[in-house]
Amino acid sequence: MTTDSEQSVPGTAGDPGPGTATVTGESAGTGATGADGAAAAPGTPEAGAEAAEAPDPETAPWSGPTMWVVPALVAALGAVCLWGAFTVEAPPNVTRPGPAAFPGAVGGLLLLVAACLSAVNLRHLRSGAGSGGNGLAWFEGRPVLLILAGLVVHIAVLEYVGWLLSGALLFWVVAYAFGARAHVRDAVVALSMSAAVQVGFSLGLGLSLPGGFLELVL
């Protein structure tokens, strides 16, 4: 007669006989699979390797030379904006703040952002978090390519269709690249933002953005 915690198995007491399965608590609780292609159980070296190959883009900083790509691009864009602000030729009858105010403010903010990004990179280097590894392992190129394609089309058709439509197209493409799929709503929002920018340039800065064929129709 056996108790609830003991179970009799075929074979002798000292040596398990043929066909006797020896089950340990460690193998029964892990749920690890063999070499049949199944997923590795949590806590195993295979699972740790898979987690290391797919870093989280929200928490994993860029490492190596790639960590300076974004600060360099932002700083270059800010320098271009400032250069445009200082070299723009304003009409003599323009009112303050004038056409140089907007690109000057954007350029200054971009340089400030580049400085903050550089400070974060230096902090990661001092802590050892930014050394080694592939900093672009999590990078997805599809949104970037979509935005670049939208920017190229925007520049190409700006003079023909005007800012109102080309700007709305650019806003819509950026929203689509970042995962927005409510196309009608996004089109309405993009058109509203494009119109707001055009009104802001006309009334606030005294600049007229290209009107395209709409300028002839309206």
8: its two tokens: 């009799």
Q: Which is more confident, 159 or 204?
A: 159
- Give which of 191, 187, 133, 189 is closest to 162, Cα–Cα: 191
CB contact set of 207 (below 8 Å; sequence gap of 6+): 99, 201
For the chain, the distance separating the N- and C-terminal CA atoms, rounded to the nearest angstrom, is 99
Q: Which is more confident, 91 or 44?
A: 91
pTM of the model: 0.48
Q: Which is more confident, 99 or 105?
A: 105
112: its two tokens: 């400030």
* Total residue length of the chain: 218
**Cα separation of 165 and 212, whole Å?**
9
| Location of structure tokens 């707001």 | 196
Helix (H) or strand (E) holding 34, with range, is: none
Average pLDDT over residues 32-48: 50
Amino acid at 40: A
pLDDT surpasses 80 at 109: yes
**Cα separation of 80 and 129, whole Å?**
32
pLDDT surpasses 90 at 55: no
CB 70 within 8 A of CB 117: yes
- Lowest pLDDT segment from 23-27, 44-48, 145-149: 23-27
SS3 state at 22: coil
SS3 state at 214: helix
